[in-house]
Structure 1
């Protein structure tokens, strides 16, 4: 009979699984990273906080994921699934006899597969009669093609193909062609067109870009050997900065001050000082609006304008009509907070596309943006003259400085010099 064998060195865990200590000690002893059970990423790279609240959709999205793709940590199908309340995620290659897929195949007129092909219709055509269910095949192109060809039930369903409106930002993974995008980018674009609300679905990309930026940032600073080959695509500015740069010629920056009463008074806020500028041309707008409701005692102090100046202001209808005339049909608004937009819409100004500059600033700083004047200092934007009175004058100047800097970064071809992080959230 063999002897007990050599003693196990101190600190080395036994090989038997039943003898392993509790999970916490196991992770500590073997330096195993804790995983987020929701996104299945290491807790240090978890993107759950970047996901929007689950989006409601008219279209049911069914993901068919190749088993190998499930093991890819930087895959995006699960990310898209977590962002959409009306979605399913199934794993496999051969779905013969799959109850859910066979159920969908019984109604081919209401189902479509997102996959290119000679008989595929464009997403614009599909918008005229959108499918109730969209099947999205997830995997590398060879893997996705294998799933489609192996399952006759998919071959019998109509297909939708599309050309992306912008190149992929999947800089950590090689795409076979310029028109190829990640699963989440494809879903965002398709749903935006089918449901006519691109801006709402674009919020899903915040988690995607966070994952890409985090992966590249850690890859550039790691000293240990790579366990997986990472593809470094060409650097591109964050999406929010690129959108500001693309819209620069039509951007109108807006800042508004309110006559705001304390909570509990049930008196709605109303716009009393409006300032706007078009940075591409230098055009400016200002209006002091006479309050129609009782002037709150704190309003003159907060807006930094005398009470007499506010009470002698322009009629609200006249001021807002002037602002409508200032805007061109293709203009897009850029604001620091959505409260400014709420004041405009409440006043009857026609709704139009708007950009959240605070969100774009947080992406540029990779942290909390703070106030607009603080952001202008952190970004080191251009020093601009003060052209309007009160707090609104200071803040529209800061907003223009921030936007000019963000647009410059959105047009950049090389990453800017790294700034110190300002926080952990955006």
Structure 2
């Protein structure tokens, strides 16, 4: 019997709603783009809506997004995709002055082994890891990996890392990916800078959640293709390689991961 997907607002959607209610700020659109009506669930214009393609993936690992102030409001944000795909995703808005008490409570929850995912060159050497702690020990103790992703521009992520004391005692997972970033919606000046969804997929693969990692990668590619085709006023191609790969992963998913 397959698990039913929960279509209630996920963590990032709830954070977006809270940001809008608090500030009254409209969602940020691409610079120079005219304001268009967008689907409230997938953030694409109606002609390119991908809600029917949203997959569900189960993973032993969890994700915790700490998001810069306006990040939940950006249509191109990929932290949203993580919460779309993985139910065990938490999201918090970052503030230097105020910390949501649910965040340190999550980090202290004994079911989780938290890792701050960030380049090791910015952390004290004794905190840096390139692999997870002994997973056999974690499984025996019941602990699951919890990957903490700092979601924002590079300068915002560095600020969050430096000015969040509750992260200081946690191990820093420094990824060593061999492939270059394929994300096409926002360009970084450094090819080794990955978008948030790509980082999450790399973490999931490192934790052994391979099908979830592949599903998230394919979902990002579908989102990127639809977002760019909408920007260029070109119809979405539901038969391109990204869409075919996402469908194939759905059909090969373990039963508990199919909506």
- TM-score normalized by structure 1? 0.41
Q: Which residue of 1 aligns with 2:74?
A: 72
Distance change in 2, residues 1:163/1:126 (3 Å): farther
Tell me: higher relative CO, structure 1 or 2? Use CA pairs within 8 A at least 6 residues apart.
2
Counterpart among 163, 168, 189 of residue 150 in structure 1:
163
2:45–2:230 Cα contact (<8 Å) kept: no
Distance change in 2, residues 1:218/1:34 (3 Å): closer
Matched, 1:169 2:182: yes
C-alpha distance after superposition, 1:380-422 (max 9, x if no partner): xxxxxxxxxxxxxxxxxxxxxxxxxxxxxxxxxxxxxxxxxxx
2:204–2:212 Cα contact (<8 Å) kept: no
1:188–1:204 Cα contact (<8 Å) kept: yes
Matched, 1:37 2:49: no
Distance change in 2, residues 1:155/1:207 (3 Å): same
- TM-score normalized by structure 2? 0.65
- What SS does the aligned partner of 1:111 have? strand
1:301-312 matches, within 5 Å, as none
CA distance in 1, matches of 2:51, 2:190: 29
- What SS does the aligned partner of 1:362 have? coil
Aligned length: 198
Specify every segment of 5 or more residues in structure 2 that has no aligned partner in the other structure, as ranges: 1-33, 139-143, 245-259
CA distance in 2, matches of 1:95, 1:79: 28
Q: Which residue of 2 aligns with 1:99?
A: 101
1:169-318 matches, within 5 Å, as 169-194=182-207, 196-221=208-233
Larger Rg computed on CA atoms:
1
Q: Which residue of 1 aligns with 2:13?
A: none
CA distance in 2, matches of 1:101, 1:366: 35
Distance change in 2, residues 1:198/1:213 (3 Å): same
Matched, 1:122 2:130: yes
CA RMSD of aligned residues (A): 3.0
- What SS does the aligned partner of 1:89 have? strand
Q: Which residue of 1 aligns with 2:154?
A: 141
Counterpart among 41, 47, 50 of residue 50 in structure 2:
47
Distance change in 2, residues 1:171/1:42 (3 Å): same
Specify every segment of 5 or more residues in structure 1 that has no aligned partner in the other structure, as ranges: 1-30, 223-360, 368-426
Q: Which residue of 2 aligns with 1:110?
A: 113
CA distance in 2, matches of 1:216, 1:78: 17
Deviation, 1:128, is: 5.9
